Copies of this chain bind each other. A is one copy, B any other.
């Protein structure tokens, strides 16, 4: 059993494929060595030792000690130095390295191998006494802190005392004598610093393994679903020093600009310094090259050490070609000699992610498939909305659910009417929750903040549909409409009162609420953005449609790549000022005749809407859903408004109150809605079918190709569908005869109740298509009201009862099982059945992957999620 892998002198036992065994850092050190890059030689103790350590009561394999010694000797030989030797001592660094980078674990101990005697001997021999004692001082400090667990602050205090005593500002101001005194002080703190270099080495190795199970590391693994069994490797390397004098230096760099993606070498360096000095921020790092320098007075590495810079550039090219991705590197220059200490894939901004992926395809470095996998759906989403500038520091006063991405700043208003009145100014509409009556105010404001509701509440749905920033379920604010203010508070937030007219910023991507204005950046849709999505389109199997209710939304959706409309909600059309009146007349009608009269007024308006949508979607399918919400949603509920309406309708307030109360329901979600309305009042379905088919005929005359698909919602039983389909088919025939035209149309249904999924075999007998309404299906499968779940879900996720909000990410084992049952049974009856999904999940990447796996034909999501869905669908196809 081989536990240790050696690297050095152009040869290495391991390579980049062995991340599992050698950890990420180790594997890349081996790889760099192998491809001829100058890396300080050393060896890696593999992750299996870590596993052994924890499985065997914190002991090591029997042979490990011997293997360490063997590799140490090999290293001594390569370096021509000897560990623990007075004359020519080898010094070592010890670093941890798991498969994936993991905060909370031990990072590094440098300068292992020094003790009092060796330091003195070394100092005597070298011409740089200060350097030697500084190294020794650092070793004790790191060892004490990391291995022995002594608080960092204790060492810092001594260091500060010493600097004050000497009247200097920087560590570098301390001379040899001061450092030697400091070493004594440090030793007094930690007491049992091992003088034996070998003991130091084993202490450091054990510390790395121990750090695998610190509380922070365990929590991080839990959050990121990293198995505890993976373990960490340990990298032991010969020391190189960037702090040996003016010909030494240290630096970090990215092979391309990680913020913009520009193909320009980008980094920082510090002359005469060790790596930690760059991180510590005591001295200002200098630009790596002239391009980057700009107007700065700090000199660049390119100017100071042109030869070394040239070497570095060539290594950058070599690494990028070898790894085929942006590299994030660390280097040290010791006495004019360049050593690479690390290379890893560079983290980048959303825009850089897209730019680099497309550039690398064009450079022939990677395939289109790889490019698609390199960009995350979050990147795409972020690029579609204005974002808070990542460089800005701020304190949020409250945090809610990130319901619709983008940042918005405006004056706080508490009523939709105010938002409308202040349309010319930017406002943030703050509400307990929103209702369909608020629609005008929601359209007028810059962003929305609600105290209640979840990711699929009315506010969230509408805001996402409008592409408007929105934070919902912000339970840490408390709104007082009378006082026209809200207050903040709760765990982690300061107590602030925000009055009407105050300026706030909301970030719909994070849920943050911030007082005042905050700088924002807008990463507009670039050519490369379009290009990466065109790659995705070539790869994906899933179709992508949009949920759009208006011609404008349909246009945006098409521009963003939608291949049709997966859901057009006709009820939103009824809330317009000109329509709500006729709608209310219809609802308040006492007879079918009066209802028909009111519907007759709505018909031309609906028809115009549909014509606009058909024109925008020329040649693409448009699924139009018949009336869905319960009728009481269209009636006012406040006393003043009821009075007004009664006057308008010329009926008594009592009669109106009675009507409203007779329509009110205890559980409207499970009430008289969807096809249940169409069955009670077939004339509604009839009017809608007529509007759709007449619109189709009229645009077809213009040379447009309409593809209407009429969708019946809230189905629990196939006979409900048969009832409604009969109405639609009859009207369609009448209209086509009247216009003397043929329209290809389909009639299908939402599958949004468990019983519809369970009886899909029966429904598929007469339905032309299915569309999963996963919002309602999630509500009924879980028994969760999306309007009320705000009280429950955060607690459930915090307690680990649910891993994810099932309204955001599809619940695969419950709701997903019903979806699978529905697909299987539906296709058993009708193998070619078109099956889509139009719930909010249609724009969520994990859910999209699920849809791909279970054989759904297309997803449909809000227009601004279409690009995200296109990418996610391609990634699902590649996985």
User: Interface of A with B (CB < 8 Å)?
Assistant: 665-672, 676, 679-680, 714, 716-717, 719-720, 723, 752-755, 758-759, 762, 776, 779-785, 787-788, 791-792, 795-796, 799-802, 811, 813-815, 817-818
Contact = CB atoms under 8 A, between A and B. Distances in A.
Nearest to A719: B801
Contact of A667 (B667, B676, B716, B762): B667
A791 to B, nearest CB: 5
23 contacts: A665-B785, A666-B668, A669-B670, A670-B779, A670-B783, A670-B785, A676-B792, A679-B801, A680-B791, A716-B784, A716-B814, A717-B814, A720-B801, A753-B781, A753-B782, A754-B754, A754-B783, A758-B781, A758-B813, A758-B814, A759-B814, A762-B813, A780-B781
A666 B788 contact: yes
A755 B811 CA distance: 10
Contacts of A753: 781-783
Contact of A801 (B667, B668, B723, B813): B723
B788 A667 contact: yes
A77 to B, nearest CB: 57
A671 B667 CA distance: 10
A678 to B, nearest CB: 12
Contacts of A672: 788, 791-792
A155 B671 CA distance: 55
Nearest to A784: B670
B799 A780 contact: no
Given A780-B781, A800-B719, A801-B723, A787 B754 contact: no
A801 B717 contact: yes
Nearest to A792: B676
A753 B813 CA distance: 14
Contacts of A759: 813-814
A452 to B, nearest CB: 9
B788 A670 contact: yes
Contacts of A781: 716, 753-755, 758, 780
A327 to B, nearest CB: 42
Contacts of A799: 679, 723
Contacts of A752: 783
Contacts of A754: 754, 780-781, 783, 814, 818
A149 B766 CA distance: 42
Contacts of A817: 758
A64 B584 CA distance: 67
A788 B818 contact: no
Contacts of A785: 665-671
A672 B676 CA distance: 27
Nearest to A796: B679
Contacts of A784: 670, 716
A451 to B, nearest CB: 10
A734 to B, nearest CB: 22
Nearest to A664: B788
Interface centre among A679, A714, A720, A796 (most CB of B within 10 A): A796
A801 B780 CA distance: 21
Contacts of A720: 801
A788 B714 contact: no
A785 to B, nearest CB: 4
Contacts of A679: 795-796, 799, 801
A714 B667 contact: no
B666 A783 contact: no
A677 B788 CA distance: 13
A787 B669 CA distance: 12
A431 B811 CA distance: 42
A101 B323 CA distance: 87
A155 B758 CA distance: 59
A664 to B, nearest CB: 9
A788 B665 contact: yes
A666 B666 CA distance: 8
Nearest to A762: B813
A792 B673 CA distance: 10
Contact of A666 (B669, B755, B795, B802): B669
Contacts of A818: 754, 758
A776 B680 CA distance: 24
Nearest to A433: B666
Nearest to A778: B755
B755 A814 contact: yes
A638 to B, nearest CB: 15
Contacts of A813: 758-759, 762
A669 B696 CA distance: 41
Nearest to A723: B801
A477 to B, nearest CB: 14
B717 A802 contact: yes
Contacts of A791: 672, 680
* 9 residue pairs, one from A and one from B, having the closest CB atoms: A670-B785, A667-B785, A755-B814, A753-B783, A666-B787, A754-B754, A671-B788, A665-B788, A667-B669
Contacts of A665: 785, 787-788
A239 to B, nearest CB: 50
Given A668-B788, A720-B801, A758-B781, 19 more contacts: A665-B787, A669-B783, A669-B785, A671-B788, A679-B801, A680-B795, A716-B783, A717-B801, A717-B802, A723-B799, A752-B783, A753-B781, A754-B781, A754-B814, A755-B782, A758-B817, A759-B813, A759-B814, A776-B783
A761 B432 CA distance: 40
Contacts of A814: 716-717, 754-755, 758-759
Contacts of A719: 800-802
Contacts of A667: 667-670, 785, 787-788
A256 B177 CA distance: 125
A485 B801 CA distance: 51
Contacts of A795: 679-680
Nearest to A630: B788
A388 to B, nearest CB: 31
A719 B796 CA distance: 10
A695 to B, nearest CB: 29
Given A758-B818, A759-B814, A783 B714 contact: yes
Contacts of A800: 719
A498 B787 CA distance: 41
A800 B726 CA distance: 15
Nearest to A801: B719
Nearest to A677: B792
A754 B666 CA distance: 21
A796 to B, nearest CB: 7
A780 B779 CA distance: 9
A669 B802 CA distance: 20
A412 to B, nearest CB: 21
A813 B669 CA distance: 23
A815 B813 CA distance: 19
Contacts of A670: 667, 669-670, 779-780, 783-785, 788
A139 to B, nearest CB: 48
A358 to B, nearest CB: 42
A800 B754 CA distance: 21
A782 to B, nearest CB: 5
A771 to B, nearest CB: 16
A723 B783 CA distance: 18
A755 B784 CA distance: 11
A658 to B, nearest CB: 10
A752 B791 CA distance: 21
A301 to B, nearest CB: 55
A343 to B, nearest CB: 42
A720 B783 CA distance: 13
